[in-house]
Amino acid sequence: MQAKLRIEETKMAALEAERRAAKEAGEKEASEASKRIAAAPSQQEAAKPQLIADSSNLNLQPQGSGSNRTKKSQTTGDVVRAAQTALTLEQGRLLKLKELEEANRTLIMTSNMDFSNHERHISRLIRQIRGIKENVRVKASELVKILKNPSCPQTISVAAFAKKVIWIVSLVCCSYKVVSHCESPDNAVFACGHVIVLVTSQVPQAMDLILAEFHRACIYTVPKHIVYSKSFFESKEAYYKDIGHREDDGKLESEKDYLKRLESYMKLYGALVQTEVQGVPNIHGPKEGWAWLARFLNDLPANMYTAVALNAFLQTAGFALFRKYKSQFTKMLLIILNDFLKALREREDSELNPIILEIQSYIEDNKFRQEPEGRSLQGQLLSSRVYSY
């Protein structure tokens, strides 16, 4: 058993080294994107359709330009819309998660120990997260203790935490009944964002696994969009499964339910990237949120899926991104207002009108200057005990 634990420690150390390298690459990309936005035209000139420059691809066409990327093809490159750097990060994270899950299956099969109690304890703690500072401190502390408990291999406990924190909180956003003490879905995502930051500051290798679970649950957290093509997909049902529609008893979930889940994942992702706790580093913080927005506007088409994803992200992350990037962020919003929303209107789909009006109101009414409800946790201030386990 000790030998197995040493092997696991070696694997986790390798994952941490890869995570640091990916983080450094992401920070460099976000920094370059910020410089290009800073050099963008003035707000008056920004009223014209223009391109957000993602450092991974500087020659893309503005959305709605009629470029060859919109043509149907049997090649994956024409079906998948995303920045290459985003796809590379996604593939790397998913590969780490897959390898970890395979190693865990082998470990469970060859071990005479039952680790299910640890997993249930993790689930119970996540379900008990509330938007109160002392609650967040306590739950984060207890979760870290489980993840560092030598009686359970860390690969198993970390994988369980990554999976449960995405799944349970997404349910909170879709239903108020999952966490009885949670005042609202937004309260839940912001509180959970704090818990993730606090836990990953002590167990950093967990962040890539959390991001992998995000990507597996919702492709727009990459960000990535898959275009339907009759020449590529065997059926419309196959396409829906590929973009993340759930299947229950052979029946795919409705479009309404899918969009509701998409929104919940994006709210949690937005809450994570904007979370700032004094004295505690956020491994996947505002710089990654800024890079996400640049890649999104640069590569994804305007449709119902992307509109819901963008709106949910702005609702939770917009305030913090505005505080950090100021005029650079407002230039991003002008591009959304004058390019992305214009492309949505050109689809002439009446079902898009509510989401168009919501995004338009968010920008024109300066709602990004208002701190979203639930962002500031209630109760006494977080003390140094939060990260002194």
Residue 20: per-residue pLDDT = 53
Q: Which two tokens stand for residue 374?
A: 């639930």
> The pTM is what?
0.80
Instruction: Kindly report the three-state secondary structure assignment for every residue of the chain.
Output: CHHHHHHHHHHHHHHHHHHHHHHHHHHHHHHHHHHHHHCCCCCCHHHCCCCCCECCECCCCCCCCCCHHHCCCCCHHHHEECCHHHHHHHHHHHHHHHHHHHHHHHHHHHCCCCCHHHHHHHHHHHHCCCCEHHHHHHHHHHHHHHHCCCCCCHHHHHHHHHHHHHHHHHHHHHCCCCCCCCCCHHHHHHHHHHHHHHHHHHCCCHHHHHHHHHHHHCHHHCCCEECCCCCCCCCHHHHHHHCCCCEECCEECCHHHHHHHHHHHHHHHHHHHHCCECCECCCCCHHHHHHHHHHHHHHCCCCHHHHHHHHHHHHHHHHHHHHHHCHHHHHHHHHHHHHHHHHHHCCCCHHHHHHHHHHHHHHHCCHHHCCCCCCCCECCCCCHHHHCC
Distance CA 218, CA 214 (A): 6
Q: Name the CATH superfamily for 2-16+42-58+83-226+251-387.
A: GLE1-like (1.25.40.510)
C-beta atoms surrounding 365 within 10 Å: 10
For 231-248, the pLDDT digits (tens) are 999 999 999 999 999 998
- Each residue's pLDDT expressed in tens, for the chain with a length of 389 residues: 444 444 444 445 544 555 555 445 444 554 554 444 444 443 333 333 333 444 333 222 323 323 333 333 345 668 999 999 999 999 999 999 999 999 999 999 998 888 999 999 999 999 999 999 999 999 999 999 999 999 999 999 999 999 999 988 777 666 543 333 334 566 789 999 999 999 999 999 999 999 999 999 999 999 999 999 999 999 999 999 999 999 988 899 999 999 999 999 999 999 999 999 999 999 999 999 999 999 999 999 999 999 999 999 999 999 999 999 999 999 999 999 999 999 999 999 999 999 999 999 999 999 999 999 999 999 854 443 443 33
At 194, the amino acid letter reads H
Distance CA 286, CA 292 (A): 10
At 126, the amino acid letter reads I
Distance CA 324, CA 286 (A): 8
